[in-house]
Amino acid sequence: SQQGEEDPQALSIQEGENATMNCSYKTSINNLQWYRQNSGRGLVHLILIRSNEREKHSGRLRVTLDTSKKSSSLLITASRAADTASYFCATDALKGGTSYGKLTFGQGTILTVHP
Amino acid sequence: NAGVTQTPKFQVLKTGQSMTLQCAQDMNHEYMSWYRQDPGMGLRLIHYSVGAGITDQGEVPNGYNVSRSTTEDFPLRLLSAAPSQTSVYFCASSLLQGISGNTIYFGEGSWLTVV
């Protein structure tokens, strides 16, 4: 079963609105990462948040992590049509203090931003 | 610096044929991996490697072989293609994760259809 589960599965908003995507996971993690995938392309890394961090910002992106609830959220502020893509969370499970990048991906959220 | 390069981009195979998906990275990354992406399933790890001469199975290894004779290359072999292997395949690489985590870089994907 998937370690990371995103919701909603699909999100449709207007340009200028904020988009929030959530990710839940099951086991203790080393870090959690968010990736973006444009249609027909590979995944592109957006942001990484470590298990001892609670919030991280990068431009219009804001990621939060709540390890007690095993959940994370990705907020895109002032969305643009170019933000239309699928967004995936990926967890790096903690094993003896080290992991080898065996990221486990969720099913993704399809974000559509209408001009 | 080309990043992660996958070939071919598109391939159609007949059931029972074998083929190799090539993956090369020029970032001197120790860690390389192969994922498959199916609709509604997110990305699932097939095989991974933490260095030349070292490979291990991921979540869905059956029907696939890998080898890592050099740091740069990590080919994925389909031994006897089946329609269930119709998917999009992504190669990825990163530095070893360690406790701090590292960005994973993805190739552009290989679309494989088995008829």
Over residues A30-89, the pLDDT tens digits come to: 889 999 999 888 899 999 998 899 999 999 999 999 999 999 999 999 999 999 999 999
Residue A102's Cβ-side half-sphere holds a number of Cα atoms within 13 Å equal to 21
Cα dist. A87→A69, A72, A75, A115, B5 in Å? 21, 13, 11, 19, 22
Residue A89's Cβ-side half-sphere holds a number of Cα atoms within 13 Å equal to 31
What single letter denotes the amino acid at residue B82? Answer: A
Weakest-pLDDT range from A98-102, B18-22, B69-73: A98-102
Is residue A1 very low, low, confident or very high in pLDDT (cuts 50, 70, 90)?
very low
How do residues B55-83 score in pLDDT, each as one tens digit? Answer: 999 989 999 999 999 999 999 999 999 99
* A45 contacts in chain B (CB < 8 Å): 103-105
The listed range with the strongest mean pLDDT (A35-49, A73-87, A96-110, B32-46) is A73-87
CB pairs under 8 A between A and B: 75
Question: Does the pLDDT at position B89 exceed 60?
Answer: yes
3-state class of B87 per DSSP? strand
Strand partners, B11: B112
Residue B85 tokens, joined = 């292997």
Per-residue confidence (pLDDT) for residue B94, from 0 to 100: 87
Per-residue confidence (pLDDT) for residue B95, from 0 to 100: 83
CB A17 within 8 A of CB A112: no
Residue among B4, B31, B37, B43 with most chain A CBs within 10 A, to mutate: B43
Among A20, A4, A33, A16, which residue's Cα sits nearest to residue A111?
A20
Residue A8 tokens, joined = 């909603």
Question: Which A positions 46-105 lie with beta carbon below 8 A of chain B?
Answer: 48, 50, 88, 90, 92, 97-105
CB B59 within 8 A of CB B35: no
B80-95: average pLDDT: 95
